[in-house]
Copies of this chain bind each other. A is one copy, B any other.
Amino acid sequence: MKNKYKVTFKPMNVSIHVPEGESLLRAAILANVHINASCGGNGTCGKCKVILESGKINNITVMNLSQEEIKDGYYLACKVIVKDDIIVNIPIESQLGDKKVLIKDSKGIHRQPTQILSPEIIEDICKPDPIGKKYFLELAEPTLEDNISDIQRIIRELKNRYDIQEKDILVNNKVLRQIPYVLREARFKITVTLLNYKDKVILSRIEPGDTTHMQYALCIDVGTTSVYALLIDVTNGKILTEASDYNAQLTCGEDVITRIVFAQRKDGLSKLQGLIGETISNLANVVVDKCGITLEDISYLVVAGNTTMIHLLLGIPPQYIRETPYVPVSNTFPPTMVEELGININSHAYIYIIPSVASYLGGDIISGLIACSFTTRKEVCLYIDIGTNGEMVLGCGDWMVACSCSAGPALEGGTIKFGIRATEGAIEEVRINPLTYEPMILTIGQKKPIGICGSGLIDTVAELFECGIIDQQGKFYTHLNTEYIRRGESGFEYVLAFAENTDIGKDIVLTETDIEDLIRAKSAAYAGIKILLQNVGLTFDDIKYIIISGNFGTYVDIQKSITIGLFPEVPKDKFVFIGNGSLLGTRVCAMSKDMMETAERIANSITNFELSENKDFMDEFIKGLFLPYTDANEFKGVMDRIAISQRFGR
């Protein structure tokens, strides 16, 4: 846990505690203190000047500061890293004057995700009993009186010592080919790896000597955009290290649909399979290097991903996932040797795939449900994972209903004029001064802005709405007199950053069309949730927790999301962020064959609603094409706050 420090902004005397390492600019955003900032935290616009009153810092950036300013203790807020309790004064030019600093609601739980499942509490979910385990065997050496076959000698010992029955042991020829040499090299003291498969075990490896202290599993979340890896010590379930990388398939298309189309080309499928195989082996190399072990030490992999990604990984044609009635080839997959998939890790490891439910309800969701112990919950919960598709599961240990709705790529930056993925330079947080309408933006990596990502988009639209810049339909009020609101090529637009402060040499704007796209996206997601509730006759009040999974969920501002009507207006303590639930679930499954079986069981038992031609869904979708919603009673708090804010602001 990082140290936290208190940052106090003067003259308004607002304080906030932030973790060591945050920038002052970010602290201001978290505290809802407005400091001018146009370049995303890059230091180039020079607007976010503050004066240090107390506290130690080691800032050496003098860029955009005059000699006199330096002497007077001026700093750029975006370049000051918090590592002490600090008091700063915001000079008038950064402040926009007394009245202009507003203190809005605190940010809720954004950036402080409460993981439902901490690594330490896997034991609470299940007795740790990994799907793969090593057994050290000291075998009697063969004699003329006892010259049973090598494998029989191993099986006999497994039965005598561990009560594992011969009929349950599957042996492949690969292992048989090594057995005679390893046995004799090791003078019949060996370690075998047994991997669970249905009600049997696969004897996947034989090693000389006792290597039971060296048992590792690689957990992988295969996303359409990014791939995440965890290296697990199977002996105790601990995470040793993690790594992530872009999915190398990105070169063949950004989203699931373009990948499926690519797979239909000649050799397209095998190219895609090769690329994801490369990504996984690269990650495997990274994590084993970090931990000083070798690729050979990995006993097995557990992989979760959406249904298309899994098809591509296994080289199975995904074509019919895309065409109505959206049929995948399979939702469950047997453990397969990584080698067979062209993944260059080692010759013995098997890959386990978390099962899916349907074409658009993948193993990543099932994995997430496992991660938050959805299957053992008594109270009704809602699990949401939003990206291009919004997947949601409502239920508890006894029953689950689910659906997936195509939110469109807006929430991931797609279709938006300056939309980009959440990469360096993407505007991810935005505040708008309700008096001057000037934006305060923060980019990922504090680079000069190059575009806007999902969370930035939600922030912007929510702020535009709260500041009275756009109406309930997302249309600009045209009477506002500011350079930030203007008529562009295709209707009105809001300027988030002028060309000189960007890294793309162009003004970064949000257009009315962009806002429409976002509204459609949020409406689709919200409609999905409503349909699930309607189908089981429940309301939002019946939901104990709303569990938000996924990268998008991690960085999105919960209050802003409610403001635009993406999430329902329920008490904020009902929201729980679990980060990458899919990845967490792979770890749980890696450490528990029961949970792996549970994954299969729930994948089979979830009732999935196909929404694509569902009339109720269409009705709900249309109702959602407003900010925050047609029926203001569903978002009373938002409407009240906006009324106050706008009255106060203007």
B-binding residues in A (CB < 8 A): 142-152, 167, 170-173, 176-177, 179-181, 184, 198-200, 314-317, 319-320, 324-334, 336, 340-341, 358-359, 610, 612-613
Contact = CB atoms under 8 A, between A and B. Distances in A.
Given A198-B167, A331-B149, A340 B173 contact: yes
A144 B612 contact: yes
A315 B174 CA distance: 9
Contacts of A181: 317
B150 A327 contact: yes
Contact of A142 (B170, B172, B180, B327): B327
Q: How many copies does the complex hold?
A: 2
Given A171-B334, A198-B167, A330-B152, A147 B359 contact: yes
A92 to B, nearest CB: 62
Nearest to A358: B147
A184 B358 CA distance: 19
A553 to B, nearest CB: 27
A219 to B, nearest CB: 21
A177 B315 contact: yes
A583 to B, nearest CB: 23
Q: Is the interface of A mostly helix, strand, loop or mixed?
A: loop
17 contacts: A142-B327, A144-B612, A144-B613, A145-B610, A147-B325, A147-B327, A150-B328, A173-B316, A173-B333, A176-B316, A176-B329, A176-B333, A177-B314, A177-B316, A180-B317, A180-B320, A180-B327
A429 to B, nearest CB: 40
Given A171-B330, A176-B330, A180-B319, 20 more contacts: A143-B325, A144-B325, A144-B326, A144-B613, A147-B325, A147-B327, A149-B328, A149-B329, A149-B330, A150-B328, A151-B332, A152-B330, A173-B315, A173-B316, A176-B314, A176-B316, A177-B316, A180-B327, A180-B329, A181-B317
B149 A324 contact: no
Nearest to A177: B316
A610 B147 contact: yes
> Which of A147, A149, A172, A199 has its CB near the most chain B CB atoms (within 10 A)?
A149
Contacts of A142: 325, 327
Given A317-B181, A334-B172, A336-B173, A144 B329 contact: no
Contact of A151 (B144, B179, B330, B359): B330
Contacts of A199: 167
A378 to B, nearest CB: 28
A10 B258 CA distance: 92
Contacts of A326: 144, 147
> Which of A176, A200, A333, A334 has its CB near the most chain B CB atoms (within 10 A)?
A176
Nearest to A324: B144
Contacts of A151: 329-330, 332
A181 B328 CA distance: 12
A605 B341 CA distance: 39
A24 to B, nearest CB: 53
Contacts of A358: 147, 149
A334 B202 CA distance: 11
Contacts of A315: 173, 177
Contacts of A341: 173
